[in-house]
Amino acid sequence: MTKAHDEIIRFIASGVTSQQVASFQPSVEVRDRVEMLIRKEKTDGLLPEEQRELDDYMRLEHLMRLAKAQARALIGRE
- The answer on pLDDT for 5 being more than 90 is no
Q: Are 74 and 24 in contact (CB under 8 A)?
A: no
Q: How many structural domains are present in the chain?
A: 1
Q: What global pTM score does this model have? A: 0.87
DSSP state of 57: H
Domain carrying residue 39: 3-77
Q: Are 46 and 40 in contact (CB under 8 A)?
A: yes
pLDDT digits (tens, 9 = 90+) for 20-39: 999 999 999 999 999 999 99
